[in-house]
């Protein structure tokens, strides 16, 4: 299972994020779930760490509570409209990197769709990987992922990719 990134607003859905994180961690393992307060170390550059974490995840779980759209900053502006809003940065990074968005509406969340996921009904994928291990200390992995079906083929948003990973 790939990594899951949990995106939430502390003022709106921290309680739900904790429950989701605990359940996903129990099912997939703690190392497969990224939640800022559990994963980041004091002094980490938050923006850089978020970019890195989103880049390493396969899907971003966006928890949208009742006040997600309307929470305001001390200046009075909507948090979502500010360029330095961490939730906005997380979701923009996931979209830019074409990660899957798992959108979860909590309670009386905004009725209109505020985000659209990038899932396409009927899409399928093939994942082929080869891993070489040397003396149980070094490993080299080559991976190719091909998305197909669903009648959609767009070179600008095609998500097929090739990856190489070295571990030591």
pTM: 0.64
pLDDT in tens, 96-153: 787 888 888 887 766 555 555 455 566 677 888 898 999 988 989 898 887 776 665 5
Query: Cα–Cα distance between 105 and 62 in angstroms, integer?
Result: 8
């Amino acid at each position: 299972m790939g990594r899951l990134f949990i995106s939430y607003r502390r003022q709106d859905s921290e309680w739900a994020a904790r429950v989701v994180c605990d359940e996903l961690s129990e099912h997939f393992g703690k190392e497969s779930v990224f939640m800022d307060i559990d994963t980041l170390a004091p002094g980490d550059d938050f923006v850089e760490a978020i970019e890195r974490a989103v880049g390493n995840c396969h899907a971003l779980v966006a928890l949208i509570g009742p006040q997600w759209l309307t929470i305001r900053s001390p200046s009075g502006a909507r948090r979502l409209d500010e360029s330095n809003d961490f939730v906005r940065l997380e979701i923009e990074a996931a979209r830019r990197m074409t990660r899957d968005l798992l959108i979860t509406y909590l309670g009386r969340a905004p009725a209109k769709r505020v985000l659209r996921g990038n899932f396409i009904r009927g899409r399928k994928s093939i994942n082929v990987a080869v891993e070489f291990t040397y003396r149980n200390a070094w490993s080299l992995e080559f991976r190719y992922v091909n998305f197909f079906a669903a009648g959609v083929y767009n070179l600008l948003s095609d998500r097929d990719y090739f990856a190489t990973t070295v571990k030591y």
